[in-house]
Protein backbone atom coordinates (compact mmCIF):
# COMPACT_ATOMS: atom_id res chain seq x y z
CA UNK A 1 0.00 0.00 0.00
CA UNK A 2 2.90 2.38 0.66
CA UNK A 3 4.06 1.71 -2.91
CA UNK A 4 0.56 2.56 -4.16
CA UNK A 5 0.53 5.74 -2.08
CA UNK A 6 3.86 6.83 -3.58
CA UNK A 7 2.59 6.06 -7.09
CA UNK A 8 -0.61 8.00 -6.46
CA UNK A 9 1.23 11.04 -5.09
CA UNK A 10 3.56 10.97 -8.07
CA UNK A 11 0.67 10.95 -10.54
CA UNK A 12 -1.15 13.69 -8.62
CA UNK A 13 1.97 15.91 -8.66
CA UNK A 14 2.48 15.29 -12.37
CA UNK A 15 -1.17 16.13 -13.06
CA UNK A 16 -0.90 19.40 -11.13
CA UNK A 17 2.04 20.41 -13.35
CA UNK A 18 0.29 19.28 -16.55
CA UNK A 19 -2.98 21.02 -15.71
CA UNK A 20 -1.14 24.22 -14.82
CA UNK A 21 0.69 24.05 -18.15
CA UNK A 22 -2.37 23.43 -20.35
CA UNK A 23 -4.50 26.14 -18.71
CA UNK A 24 -4.05 29.75 -19.87
CA UNK A 25 -1.92 31.91 -17.59
CA UNK A 26 -3.85 33.90 -15.00
CA UNK A 27 -2.53 37.18 -16.42
CA UNK A 28 -3.53 36.36 -20.00
CA UNK A 29 -6.45 38.44 -21.30
CA UNK A 30 -9.21 38.07 -20.15
CA UNK A 31 -7.38 37.70 -16.87
CA UNK A 32 -10.41 37.32 -14.57
CA UNK A 33 -11.79 34.43 -16.61
CA UNK A 34 -8.43 32.66 -16.72
CA UNK A 35 -7.94 33.21 -13.00
CA UNK A 36 -11.33 31.60 -12.36
CA UNK A 37 -10.47 28.62 -14.57
CA UNK A 38 -7.21 28.01 -12.71
CA UNK A 39 -8.97 28.49 -9.35
CA UNK A 40 -11.50 25.80 -10.31
CA UNK A 41 -8.92 23.24 -11.40
CA UNK A 42 -5.69 23.67 -9.44
CA UNK A 43 -4.73 23.09 -5.80
CA UNK A 44 -7.46 20.64 -4.91
CA UNK A 45 -9.17 17.37 -5.72
CA UNK A 46 -8.13 13.74 -5.52
CA UNK A 47 -7.53 13.46 -9.31
CA UNK A 48 -9.32 10.09 -9.32
CA UNK A 49 -10.03 10.24 -13.06
CA UNK A 50 -6.42 10.95 -14.10
CA UNK A 51 -5.29 8.24 -11.66
CA UNK A 52 -7.61 5.81 -13.42
CA UNK A 53 -6.24 6.87 -16.81
CA UNK A 54 -2.66 6.26 -15.63
CA UNK A 55 -3.57 2.91 -14.10
CA UNK A 56 -5.36 1.78 -17.27
CA UNK A 57 -2.31 2.87 -19.26
CA UNK A 58 -0.28 0.26 -17.38
CA UNK A 59 -2.37 -2.41 -19.13
CA UNK A 60 -1.14 -1.18 -22.51
CA UNK A 61 2.38 0.12 -21.74
CA UNK A 62 1.30 3.69 -22.49
CA UNK A 63 3.78 6.54 -22.03
CA UNK A 64 3.34 8.81 -18.98
CA UNK A 65 3.34 11.91 -21.23
CA UNK A 66 0.37 10.67 -23.23
CA UNK A 67 -1.45 9.64 -20.07
CA UNK A 68 -0.90 13.03 -18.46
CA UNK A 69 -2.62 14.80 -21.35
CA UNK A 70 -5.44 12.25 -21.50
CA UNK A 71 -5.91 12.60 -17.75
CA UNK A 72 -5.88 16.38 -18.02
CA UNK A 73 -8.64 16.33 -20.63
CA UNK A 74 -10.91 14.26 -18.40
CA UNK A 75 -10.08 16.34 -15.32
CA UNK A 76 -10.95 19.56 -17.15
CA UNK A 77 -14.37 18.15 -18.01
CA UNK A 78 -14.83 17.07 -14.40
CA UNK A 79 -13.83 20.52 -13.12
CA UNK A 80 -16.22 22.28 -15.47
CA UNK A 81 -19.06 20.04 -14.28
CA UNK A 82 -18.34 20.93 -10.65
CA UNK A 83 -18.32 24.67 -11.42
CA UNK A 84 -21.72 24.45 -13.08
CA UNK A 85 -23.20 21.98 -10.56
CA UNK A 86 -22.40 24.34 -7.68
CA UNK A 87 -24.14 27.36 -9.22
CA UNK A 88 -27.44 28.71 -7.81
CA UNK A 89 -29.45 27.35 -10.73
CA UNK A 90 -28.23 23.83 -9.95
CA UNK A 91 -27.12 22.68 -6.47
CA UNK A 92 -26.48 26.20 -5.12
CA UNK A 93 -23.44 25.21 -3.04
CA UNK A 94 -20.88 27.56 -1.51
CA UNK A 95 -18.01 25.15 -0.73
CA UNK A 96 -15.96 22.88 -2.98
CA UNK A 97 -12.61 21.24 -2.24
CA UNK A 98 -12.42 23.14 1.02
CA UNK A 99 -12.71 26.62 -0.52
CA UNK A 100 -15.50 28.89 -1.78
CA UNK A 101 -17.11 27.73 -5.01
CA UNK A 102 -16.23 29.62 -8.18
CA UNK A 103 -19.44 31.65 -8.38
CA UNK A 104 -18.88 32.74 -4.75
CA UNK A 105 -15.18 33.55 -5.17
CA UNK A 106 -15.81 35.40 -8.45
CA UNK A 107 -19.40 35.85 -9.67
CA UNK A 108 -22.07 33.81 -11.43
CA UNK A 109 -21.36 35.08 -14.93
CA UNK A 110 -17.64 34.39 -14.60
CA UNK A 111 -18.35 30.92 -13.21
CA UNK A 112 -20.62 30.14 -16.16
CA UNK A 113 -17.95 31.24 -18.63
CA UNK A 114 -15.19 29.43 -16.74
CA UNK A 115 -17.13 26.16 -16.94
CA UNK A 116 -17.77 26.66 -20.66
CA UNK A 117 -14.10 27.42 -21.29
CA UNK A 118 -12.88 24.42 -19.27
CA UNK A 119 -15.10 22.14 -21.32
CA UNK A 120 -13.66 23.35 -24.62
CA UNK A 121 -10.12 23.34 -23.17
CA UNK A 122 -10.50 19.59 -22.58
CA UNK A 123 -11.01 18.93 -26.27
CA UNK A 124 -8.22 21.32 -27.17
CA UNK A 125 -5.86 19.20 -25.05
CA UNK A 126 -7.19 15.92 -26.41
CA UNK A 127 -6.86 16.98 -30.05
CA UNK A 128 -3.68 19.07 -29.84
CA UNK A 129 -1.30 16.40 -28.52
CA UNK A 130 -0.36 13.07 -30.11
CA UNK A 131 -1.89 10.52 -27.74
CA UNK A 132 -2.12 7.41 -29.90
CA UNK A 133 -0.11 5.70 -32.61
CA UNK A 134 -2.97 5.85 -35.12
CA UNK A 135 -5.02 9.00 -35.94
CA UNK A 136 -8.18 6.87 -36.02
CA UNK A 137 -7.54 5.81 -32.41
CA UNK A 138 -7.12 9.41 -31.28
CA UNK A 139 -10.31 10.41 -33.10
CA UNK A 140 -12.06 7.57 -31.26
CA UNK A 141 -10.71 8.98 -27.98
CA UNK A 142 -12.21 12.39 -28.77
CA UNK A 143 -15.54 10.66 -29.41
CA UNK A 144 -15.34 8.72 -26.15
CA UNK A 145 -14.91 11.91 -24.11
CA UNK A 146 -17.58 13.80 -26.07
CA UNK A 147 -20.15 11.05 -25.61
CA UNK A 148 -19.31 10.68 -21.91
CA UNK A 149 -19.68 14.43 -21.33
CA UNK A 150 -22.96 15.21 -23.09
CA UNK A 151 -26.65 14.42 -22.82
CA UNK A 152 -25.99 10.70 -23.31
CA UNK A 153 -23.49 10.78 -20.44
CA UNK A 154 -22.68 13.18 -17.61
CA UNK A 155 -25.02 16.02 -18.54
CA UNK A 156 -27.86 13.59 -19.13
CA UNK A 157 -27.32 12.05 -15.72
CA UNK A 158 -27.35 15.46 -14.10
CA UNK A 159 -30.62 16.19 -15.90
CA UNK A 160 -32.18 13.00 -14.56
CA UNK A 161 -30.89 13.93 -11.09
CA UNK A 162 -32.52 17.35 -11.25
CA UNK A 163 -35.82 15.98 -12.51
CA UNK A 164 -35.86 13.25 -9.83
CA UNK A 165 -35.77 15.49 -6.75
CA UNK A 166 -38.50 14.42 -4.36
CA UNK A 167 -39.14 11.16 -6.23
CA UNK A 168 -38.48 7.60 -5.15
CA UNK A 169 -36.46 5.78 -7.79
CA UNK A 170 -36.09 2.02 -8.12
CA UNK A 171 -32.58 0.59 -7.89
CA UNK A 172 -32.31 0.14 -11.70
CA UNK A 173 -33.48 3.74 -12.22
CA UNK A 174 -30.96 5.04 -9.68
CA UNK A 175 -28.17 3.00 -11.26
CA UNK A 176 -29.01 4.27 -14.74
CA UNK A 177 -28.87 7.86 -13.48
CA UNK A 178 -25.42 7.33 -11.98
CA UNK A 179 -24.08 5.28 -14.89
CA UNK A 180 -24.59 8.54 -16.77
CA UNK A 181 -23.93 11.23 -14.15
CA UNK A 182 -20.82 9.83 -12.45
CA UNK A 183 -19.96 6.62 -14.25
CA UNK A 184 -19.67 7.91 -17.82
CA UNK A 185 -16.67 10.14 -17.12
CA UNK A 186 -14.96 7.49 -14.99
CA UNK A 187 -15.41 4.98 -17.82
CA UNK A 188 -14.02 7.54 -20.27
CA UNK A 189 -10.95 8.09 -18.09
CA UNK A 190 -10.18 4.37 -18.03
CA UNK A 191 -10.76 3.89 -21.77
CA UNK A 192 -8.69 6.95 -22.72
CA UNK A 193 -5.81 5.70 -20.63
CA UNK A 194 -6.00 2.26 -22.21
CA UNK A 195 -6.13 3.71 -25.74
CA UNK A 196 -2.90 5.66 -25.15
CA UNK A 197 -0.85 2.46 -25.46
CA UNK A 198 -0.78 -0.81 -27.36
CA UNK A 199 -4.13 -2.03 -28.74
CA UNK A 200 -6.32 -4.33 -26.66
CA UNK A 201 -8.61 -6.97 -28.13
CA UNK A 202 -12.36 -6.35 -28.14
CA UNK A 203 -12.73 -8.83 -25.29
CA UNK A 204 -10.02 -7.11 -23.26
CA UNK A 205 -11.59 -3.69 -23.85
CA UNK A 206 -14.95 -5.06 -22.75
CA UNK A 207 -13.38 -6.29 -19.50
CA UNK A 208 -11.74 -2.91 -18.90
CA UNK A 209 -15.01 -1.11 -19.60
CA UNK A 210 -16.91 -3.43 -17.24
CA UNK A 211 -14.39 -2.69 -14.50
CA UNK A 212 -14.87 1.04 -15.11
CA UNK A 213 -18.66 0.74 -15.12
CA UNK A 214 -18.61 -1.05 -11.77
CA UNK A 215 -16.23 1.48 -10.24
CA UNK A 216 -18.23 4.42 -11.54
CA UNK A 217 -21.25 3.11 -9.66
CA UNK A 218 -19.18 2.23 -6.59
CA UNK A 219 -17.75 5.75 -6.53
CA UNK A 220 -21.28 7.19 -6.37
CA UNK A 221 -22.45 4.71 -3.74
CA UNK A 222 -19.51 5.73 -1.53
CA UNK A 223 -20.26 9.40 -2.21
CA UNK A 224 -23.81 8.86 -0.96
CA UNK A 225 -22.51 7.10 2.17
CA UNK A 226 -20.04 9.91 2.88
CA UNK A 227 -22.71 12.56 2.34
CA UNK A 228 -24.65 10.84 5.12
CA UNK A 229 -21.78 10.08 7.52
CA UNK A 230 -18.87 12.51 7.02
CA UNK A 231 -18.70 16.15 8.08
CA UNK A 232 -18.17 19.21 5.91
CA UNK A 233 -14.56 19.71 7.00
CA UNK A 234 -13.64 16.17 5.98
CA UNK A 235 -15.50 16.27 2.66
CA UNK A 236 -14.39 19.76 1.66
CA UNK A 237 -17.96 20.36 0.50
CA UNK A 238 -21.30 20.75 2.24
CA UNK A 239 -22.23 17.51 4.03
CA UNK A 240 -25.82 16.23 4.12
CA UNK A 241 -26.72 18.20 1.01
CA UNK A 242 -28.48 15.38 -0.83
CA UNK A 243 -30.75 14.50 2.08
CA UNK A 244 -31.54 18.16 2.68
CA UNK A 245 -32.49 18.56 -0.99
CA UNK A 246 -34.57 15.36 -0.94
CA UNK A 247 -32.51 13.77 -3.71
CA UNK A 248 -32.66 10.04 -4.45
CA UNK A 249 -29.54 8.28 -3.12
CA UNK A 250 -28.33 4.74 -2.50
CA UNK A 251 -28.51 5.38 1.25
CA UNK A 252 -32.11 6.57 1.02
CA UNK A 253 -33.05 3.51 -1.04
CA UNK A 254 -30.94 0.78 0.59
CA UNK A 255 -29.97 2.18 4.00
CA UNK A 256 -26.36 2.57 5.15
CA UNK A 257 -25.67 -1.16 5.47
CA UNK A 258 -27.30 -1.91 2.14
CA UNK A 259 -25.27 0.84 0.47
CA UNK A 260 -22.04 -0.51 1.96
CA UNK A 261 -22.92 -4.01 0.77
CA UNK A 262 -23.64 -2.62 -2.71
CA UNK A 263 -20.25 -0.90 -2.86
CA UNK A 264 -18.51 -4.13 -1.79
CA UNK A 265 -20.43 -6.13 -4.40
CA UNK A 266 -19.44 -3.70 -7.16
CA UNK A 267 -15.82 -3.79 -5.99
CA UNK A 268 -15.72 -7.60 -6.24
CA UNK A 269 -17.34 -7.52 -9.68
CA UNK A 270 -14.80 -4.94 -10.87
CA UNK A 271 -11.86 -6.96 -9.59
CA UNK A 272 -13.14 -10.13 -11.24
CA UNK A 273 -13.33 -8.39 -14.62
CA UNK A 274 -9.59 -7.71 -14.53
CA UNK A 275 -8.44 -11.15 -13.37
CA UNK A 276 -7.11 -12.23 -16.81
CA UNK A 277 -4.72 -9.25 -16.90
CA UNK A 278 -2.74 -10.45 -13.90
CA UNK A 279 -0.07 -8.09 -12.54
CA UNK A 280 -0.71 -5.53 -15.30
CA UNK A 281 -3.96 -4.61 -13.55
CA UNK A 282 -2.37 -4.03 -10.13
CA UNK A 283 -2.82 -0.26 -10.12
CA UNK A 284 -6.44 -0.46 -11.27
CA UNK A 285 -7.14 -2.97 -8.49
CA UNK A 286 -5.41 -0.69 -5.97
CA UNK A 287 -7.62 2.18 -7.14
CA UNK A 288 -10.74 0.02 -6.79
CA UNK A 289 -9.82 -0.53 -3.14
CA UNK A 290 -9.01 3.17 -2.66
CA UNK A 291 -12.29 4.36 -4.17
CA UNK A 292 -14.38 2.12 -1.91
CA UNK A 293 -12.36 2.75 1.28
CA UNK A 294 -11.91 6.55 0.89
CA UNK A 295 -13.07 8.95 3.60
CA UNK A 296 -13.71 12.02 1.41
pLDDT of the residue at 246: 75
Q: Is 62 left (phi over 0), alpha (psi -120 to 50) or beta?
A: beta
pLDDT of the residue at 45: 87
Distances (CA, A) of 97 to 178, 196, 238: 21, 29, 10
Total residues found in the chain within this entry:
296
Buried-state track 251-262, b at ≥16 Cβ within 10 A, e below 16:
bbbbeeeebbeb
- pLDDT, averaged in runs of 10, over the chain (296 residues): 88 98 97 98 94 98 98 98 96 92 98 98 97 96 98 96 89 94 96 98 97 96 90 70 77 94 97 97 96 89
DSSP, res 28:
S
How far is it, in rounded angstroms, from Cα 70 to Cα 147?
15
Backbone angles phi, psi at 93, to 5 degrees: -105, 155
pLDDT of the residue at 239: 66
pLDDT of the residue at 15: 98
pLDDT of the residue at 253: 92
- All structural domains of the chain: 2-293 (1.10.600.10)
pLDDT of the residue at 33: 98
Q: Model pTM greater than 0.85? A: yes
How far is it, in rounded angstroms, from Cα 293 to Cα 1?
13
101 burial type by CB count under 10 A (0-12 exposed, 13-18 middle, 19+ buried): buried
Helix (H) or strand (E) holding 271, with range, is: helix 250-273
pLDDT of the residue at 20: 98
pLDDT of the residue at 287: 97
pLDDT of the residue at 248: 86
Tell me if residue 173 falls in helix, strand or coil. Answer: helix
Amino acid sequence: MSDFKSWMQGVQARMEDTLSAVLPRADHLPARLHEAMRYAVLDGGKRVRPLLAFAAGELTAASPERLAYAGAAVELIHAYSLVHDDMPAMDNDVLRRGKPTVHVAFDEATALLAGDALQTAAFDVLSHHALADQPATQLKMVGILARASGSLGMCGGQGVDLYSVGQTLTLPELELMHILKTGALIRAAVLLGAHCGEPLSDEELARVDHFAKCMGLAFQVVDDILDEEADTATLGKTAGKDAANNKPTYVALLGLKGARDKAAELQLDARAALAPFGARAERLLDLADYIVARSH
